[in-house]
Every structure is written in C-alpha cells, then in structure tokens.
Structure 1
C-alpha cells in the first residue's frame, strides 16, 4: 500500500468512525473506545509511532522522576518536551503479562498470561496455595497493535525483548510460531523467548541478534538498528513504500538482570550509593540506556521526524528489588504494592501534548494500546480494556474509573502472596487469596502503603472488594486453589 492509498483509506475510515463514540461491552467489564474526528491536516499527517518500553525500570529510576543521584539528561529533556504521568501503572507486577496487554489492549487476566513466562511455576516449598496455570505464549488468534497498524498501511518493526514466545530454552529460541513477525511485525530484531539476555555485551548469545563487534553494548546496538531501519535500511521490494508511516517498537532488554554496564559508568556511581541507588551497576545501566536514547531522539530531530512522531516511553513493571531503591514506594517487581506496578510514563506528541506537563490521573498499560489507535483514527480490532488518553493529553478532564490487577502466581523470588488489587480515585485495595484478608490505602496521603485503613473504613473496603470480585467474574479471571 502506498502512502497515497493509505491516506485515502484512512480518510474513509475517519468519515465512518470519526464522529462516533463506540462502546464495546465484553463480559460486563469496562471496555471502551471513543474515536474523535481528526482535522484534514491531521489525517494527511498520520503520525509515526515510536513505542519504547524499558525492562524493570522503577518509578523512581530517572532523574526527572525525582532521583537526584541518577543522571538521565536525555529522558529528562524528553519529559520537558511532553507529558509525564505520576500515577501510571503496568498491567502486572512482572513483564510478560504487561507486554501482552500492550499488544492486545486486554488485561492479563483475560489472556491467561498472568506471570512472567518461564519453564517453572516458582511454587515455594510448603506452599498452602497453588498458582493458576500461566499461558506461556501470546496466541496468534489475538489481534495485536502491530497487525492493526500494518493493515492500515504502517511499516512495522520490532527491536529488543519480546518474551511472549514460549519457554526460552537454548539461546532464547522458544517457539517461533509466536514471534513478533507472527504478530504483525515486518521486521524483528532480537525478539524471541528470552526474558533477559545472557549478557549485555557482544557476543550476546541471542540467536536472532547477530553479533557485530566484540564488547559492543546492547542498548547502543538496538538504537543503531532502529536508526538504520528509519534511515531506510529495508529490502528493495519495499522501496516504493518508503514514505509510509512507521510503527517502531523498541522494547529494551535494559535494565533486566544481569547487571552489566560500561565500566567507567559503574565506577562513576560507586561513590553515589545511598538513598536512590543500591547498586552502581544498575545506575550505570540506566545512564548508558539514557545516552543511547539521546542518540535516537537527536536522530529524530535531525531527520525532521520528531514533529510528526508520537513517542511513548514506559516500563513493563516495577524495579528489581535487589538493585533498585523504590522508596517512597513499597516493595518492588513481583509484588502488588506500588513498587511492583507503578511505573514511569512519558508521552511526546507535537501539536497534542503540552510541554512539561505533569498529569496525576491514574492510567494503565492497556490505555496505551487504545491511545495509539485513536491517534491514527482507527477503532480497536477487538474489544479493549483500555481507554484512549488522547483527550487527557490535550488537557481535557478524564472521568474516574477503577484500575484492576490480578496476580495469582508466584514471582521468581517466591516471596509474594497471591492476590488482586483495585485502585479507584485515591484509594487502593489489595485482597490476599490465602486468608481472604484485605489492605486499604489512601495513596494521596500514604503512597508508601504503611497505614492499612481497612478496619477504620470497612464500608469502602467492602465496596472496592465487591468491585474487584465482579471484575474477576467479568474477565474470566482464574483463581488459585488450596494445595490440599
């Protein structure tokens, strides 16, 4: 499809759906999409999309998020150019479910992907409760964001960590039937079954990430590949479609384990250990990642792509507790407390997002799926659990709605309890499946979740618990069972 035919098709779509507000009801859950009529200029300037997801980056792990010990000038500048969210949530406290939710727009409980994909279930010795089975791949029956955009005429390319393709096995091979190229991506560089790279330095040990230069650092390599792709490094057969808009997904392996970074940066952070930094390697990885993103952002500027590119930056879950200091949040990756699910989120969309604005509306991963489709003027290919943030990005008020979480599995550390959670307004309730107890927190006054208000406010706790139970029924959430 040429750019001309794409724009002609897009205008036809807009004429059909632009003034409609369509509501999808799927099992009683809140599944909504509201399309807005784009101007003739906007329809002629269909945005490019760059979707960046970092692995295991905590809410406090950027300078612009309040961590003064870290240096992240590129992402700080990016935040100043767009909108930053202070109450953004990953769909799950671990990676694979969040990735599946972003691709499909569905909450992990609907998909059955509720834990990070591994050969093990991580059941602790003597556990009294057994976790629910975890689907270990993203089914090709699901319609992904990439498939919808490719059908609309976008070039689609994936770079980095996928982790939705079965049990990794040797070199992260997994099951190629569920690779990115089977989910709508024309190009796949490095996306396989690996949850983390064997090493961040070349040779990487990833079968579809070719070695290039011994000692090369993985974040630099991925940005090089993205830039090369955007410069037109495609096959001759695609030459006629060079002016199609692009959907580039860059899902960094950073800052996942193993903790590896260029030695000069590690040495730099040795003297900065303290509140905000537990491990100099982790801090060094973040700064190295920031430098790589800086090169990418400068390329977009120099190539005159920035003015028509929607860029989204976020993380798949909270930070790994062994190396990150999540304070003031409680806990870390693999937990339903804020440290496990609250993440950085920044959006830059020239002409739409105001510069340097901080938004405190609670949002969740599935909203990004809906937002991207809304930006293009397309309805979802399937009902979605997300809500477009386009109006919010433009400064329009957003109605409150509850955000739900379901984590009926043990994380790799085997230290978490199986449970679910709901946030509505300032309040968050966590329900533990093992003893049916609940915890209630006012996140506006107690973001560290230290004062359980369930006993003091039983009526609110009961209301939120009832909403959580109803939501589980609506989405078909599978519950864990007693070991006996």
Structure 2
C-alpha cells in the first residue's frame, strides 16, 4: 500500500450547523462546496471540548481533556502524549504545521517536524481559570461582548495578518514539496484562526452578505433567568451586564462571521489550487475545533454543549471513500485513528492512545453504536461538565446543575429539557448510567483544581525577574535560501523549478 499524502485544513470556531451537508447554499463558499462534493460529509460531528486548546489537543491526540490534562486554554499539552503527527512521523511521514494549534507548554511541535509560523495565542499559563474563585472575571483575557458591539469592516486586523501568513506559508510549502527533494509521504496541516471573533471582515467579503436573510438568530435572546445555570455562568463570564446588544449589533456580528467564512474559502482555494497546479494528490480533511453560538438564545462564542457551540464541520476526501453524507454522530476524537487507517498505520499502534474510532467503516456502510463524548472544564465553569450524544439524544451532566436531556430529532434547538419528563425516565437513566460509567465527576473536579493551583504558582513565579516564554519562534536558515555561494547556480535553478524543463 502506498501511503497517501495528507492535507488537513483546520479553521477556528466554525459552527457545524452551517454545514449540514457541506456549506449551506446561501454561504459564498465555492471552494468548500467543491470539496464537499468529493468528500464524506459528517453532518453531526462534535468537538471533544468546546474551547480552543482543549479541543485542539483532543483533536490531535484522540483523547478527551480528562486524559490529556488540557482542561482549558492555559493547560500544558504534555510532550509524551502521542498525536497524529507522532503516529504518521513514526510511520515515515514528513509532518508540518502552518498556523494555529494553541499548544501550551515548552513542547511547541508535538510530533510536527516543521512549524512554519508562530501561534496566535500565548503558550504560557497566564490564562488559567481558578475554581477557587467562582464568578471571578479575568478581564484582560476572558471573552466579553465587545466582539459583538465592535463588529464591522476592516481591511486588516490581528487575525487577518495571521491567516494571510498561514496561507502564504502553506502554499509555499506545497510548492516546495512538489520539487521532489524528499521522497517521504507528507502530512501538512494548515490551521487558520478565522472565523473566530472579533467579528471583523474585509469589505470585499462583507459586501457578499448585504442582502443575506440569515443575519438574525433563529432562537431570539432569552431572559437571563430563563437560561440553564451553565449558560448563566457564561453570560457572567462574558460580562454581558456591561453591554447593550442591539439588533444592529447582532446583524453586523453575524454578517462579519459569514464574511470571514468566505475569506477562509478564498484562502483554502489558494491552497487547493497549488495542490492541483503541482500535480500532487492528497487525502484532504476539513474540520473546525469547535463552533460559535452566533447569538442563538442570546449566547455567543462557545463554552457549552449546545449544537451551535459543540458541533463542527468534518469532511474527508480520500481514495476509496465514496462522497456521501453520514448522519451518525462522530467526534473530532475520531480524526487521529482515521488518519492512521488512511495512512496504513496499524491500529494496534494507535488504539491504546485514543478515545476515538476509525471513521472509514462508517463510510463503507458500518454502523456506530458507541456514544460521542464531550467535556468542558474551563472558563465560565465552576466544575467539570460532561456530555454524551447517543443517536438522537444528548445528555449533559454537571455536579452543580440538573441533568439535561434533549431529543435532537424533534428539538434541534435544544429548547425542551426532557430530563424530568415522566415518559423519558428510561432514556435518562440509560444515558446517565453510561455517563457515570465513563466519568467520576468528583475525581475529575479534583484533577482540574490541582492542575489550576499548580499552574498559578508556576506562572506567578516565572513572571518574576527574567521572562523566557515558550512562544514558538519559526526559524529560517538564511544561508540555505535562494542563492548562496556554496550552491551551484545551474543545479539550484533546475531543482527549484516545477515542472522541470517545460
């Protein structure tokens, strides 16, 4: 079996309900629509944790946060946890990352042989929540509603600058790989930060949605007291009382978000065009780390198990997998074993290190009988929350809150909690038993609190005196670039050209 090249296209905070079968028709996303037409499209894919760092560590390792220890956006991703980059590199692949992965800690590679950019977020422990101080807001890094009230148009921003760099480096790397200097199969991950807030877009993309009829949520904002306890905690963490969110704010924020999907579509189109122009073939996987509530029920950003926050797009284009829609719930935890299967890595080498399942059998007619698991133990929570998606059901549990049980076939907006309904006690007890068999919430809580306490001590210590952060510094060997005097110019020009001799 020839090991295929693999191209992973990852985006940030892209709501999976906008991808029921590829991008919804009204999105201006021609490149993603073409990719969808040649892909297996998982209509009900879920993040392992609806926050950047824990979701991404779980995506890369196939392990839930309770196993990785990456509970929040400032928790270290330990260097001894195998990731898909390790598994593929061990199997003979060249592995490379262009863009964001929100690694925290001194290991900023986690199996990647090369990393082409720095990260957009800090790599230290400065964003650590503190369960010892419930309700405390850390204003300089917690989300607030300013992303909504400040939504609009700009021709450049912190995030645009970053994603422009991600795309440039990814295309440059694909050109370099086409030159054939390395005969290993490759896995290139291009990971963008859009459409993550702040909701700011370039005019050319903003104008695409001038007449969009999707600029208001389907479920209007609710009164604070009508929300479940965790949603109330998120409102408090987002400092909602200090902002007056108008209908115009909502329209502008959603419009910019949709515009940034179109911006990403252009960036992804650039990468796919280079792949085509250089005649390279690859398995292509498209995914997000988590979603965005986009004002549904009055909630924004993520940090909860509602589908807007927890459901993500997941599409795989690969030889032998017929393009189709699959409705069975799946997880980003499943990516690592699936990549291993597509690359021919023995499952025995991956299985001990993952909570996920290989998705290729689903694409060839098999059924999935196991539930999809999610965890959340970060900002806006006072104790860990866990969730199971099992068939049409979603069951959420937290030691601080009443259980939640939703029938997503009949109630896709999760407005009717059936946990106390007499007709559904059998389902509740079945799912609660599965949840209790998987999670000891008291032990989970103790582990989170111990991790937070350790990190607060270490961070405060390391900020005294000289500071040497872990932020990744991309290295360039200037003496190996372009033309230098230890090179033969004739050989150089021939080797750097693709295709040669045409």
Which residue does the alignment assign to 1:402? 371
Encode CA deviations 1:156-189: one digit per residue, 9 max, x unaligned. Answer: 11011121224xxxxxxxxxx2212xx2212112
1:387 equivalent to 2:357? Answer: yes
Counterpart Cα distance in 2 of 1:144 and 1:46: 18
Q: Describe the SS at the equivalent of 2:313.
A: strand
Residue 73 of structure 2 is aligned with which of 116, 122, 139? 116
Encode CA deviations 1:9-68: one digit per residue, 9 max, x unaligned. Answer: xxxxxxxxxxxxxxxxxxxxxxxxxxxxxxxxxx1x211111122100111345965644
Instruction: List gaps (5 residues or longer) in structure 1.
Output: 1-42, 118-135, 167-176, 206-215
CA displacement at 1:260 relative to structure 2: 3.0
Which residue does the alignment assign to 2:339? 372
Q: Describe the SS at the equivalent of 2:77.
A: coil
Counterpart Cα distance in 1 of 2:365 and 2:21: 24
Counterpart Cα distance in 1 of 2:444 and 2:370: 19
- Tell me: CA distance 1:429–1:458, structure 2 relative to 1, closer, same or farther (3 Å): same
Which residue does the alignment assign to 2:119? 192
Conserved 8 A contact 1:422-1:430: yes
Which residue does the alignment assign to 1:92? 49
- Tell me: CA distance 1:364–1:62, structure 2 relative to 1, closer, same or farther (3 Å): closer
Which residue does the alignment assign to 1:145? 84
1:434 equivalent to 2:400? Answer: yes
Conserved 8 A contact 2:174-2:274: no
Count residues in correspondence: 380
TM (norm. structure 2) is 0.69
Which residue does the alignment assign to 1:453? 418
Residue 314 of structure 2 is aligned with which of 345, 351, 356? 345
1:297 equivalent to 2:272? Answer: yes
Which residue does the alignment assign to 2:389? 423
Which residue does the alignment assign to 1:73? 30
Which residue does the alignment assign to 2:185? 245
- Tell me: CA distance 1:347–1:76, structure 2 relative to 1, closer, same or farther (3 Å): same
1:219 equivalent to 2:163? Answer: yes
- Tell me: CA distance 1:191–1:463, structure 2 relative to 1, closer, same or farther (3 Å): farther
Counterpart Cα distance in 2 of 1:222 and 1:201: 17
CA displacement at 1:100 relative to structure 2: 0.6
Counterpart Cα distance in 1 of 2:155 and 2:162: 6
Encode CA deviations 1:430-468: one digit per residue, 9 max, x unaligned. Answer: 123214x11111112222112222223112212211211
CA displacement at 1:331 relative to structure 2: 7.1
Conserved 8 A contact 1:90-1:364: yes
Which residue does the alignment assign to 1:272? 212
1:60 equivalent to 2:17? Answer: yes
Which residue does the alignment assign to 2:469? none
Conserved 8 A contact 2:71-2:378: yes
Counterpart Cα distance in 2 of 1:201 and 1:153: 42
Counterpart Cα distance in 1 of 2:156 and 2:43: 36
Q: Describe the SS at the equivalent of 1:318.
A: coil
1:313 equivalent to 2:277? Answer: no
Q: Describe the SS at the equivalent of 1:254.
A: strand
Q: Describe the SS at the equivalent of 2:43.
A: strand
TM (norm. structure 1) is 0.71
Q: Describe the SS at the equivalent of 2:176.
A: coil
Residue 327 of structure 2 is aligned with which of 340, 345, 360? 360
Task: Considering fraction of residues, name the structure with more helix.
Answer: 2
CA displacement at 1:330 relative to structure 2: 8.6
Conserved 8 A contact 1:159-1:190: yes
Q: Describe the SS at the equivalent of 2:287.
A: strand
Counterpart Cα distance in 2 of 1:314 and 1:189: 20
Counterpart Cα distance in 2 of 1:465 and 1:200: 48
Counterpart Cα distance in 2 of 1:475 and 1:314: 32
Conserved 8 A contact 1:318-1:333: yes
Counterpart Cα distance in 1 of 2:185 and 2:56: 23
Equivalence map 1:122-161=2 (5 Å): 136-161=75-100
Conserved 8 A contact 1:165-1:193: no
- Single out whichever of 363-372 and 277-286 deviates more from structure 2: 277-286
1:162 equivalent to 2:101? Answer: yes
Counterpart Cα distance in 2 of 1:353 and 1:361: 16
CA displacement at 1:240 relative to structure 2: 7.9
Instruction: List gaps (5 residues or longer) in structure 2.
Output: 123-140, 142-152, 218-250, 450-502
- Tell me: CA distance 1:406–1:71, structure 2 relative to 1, closer, same or farther (3 Å): same
Counterpart Cα distance in 1 of 2:372 and 2:441: 14
List 4+ stretches of structure 1 deviating above 6 A.
199-203
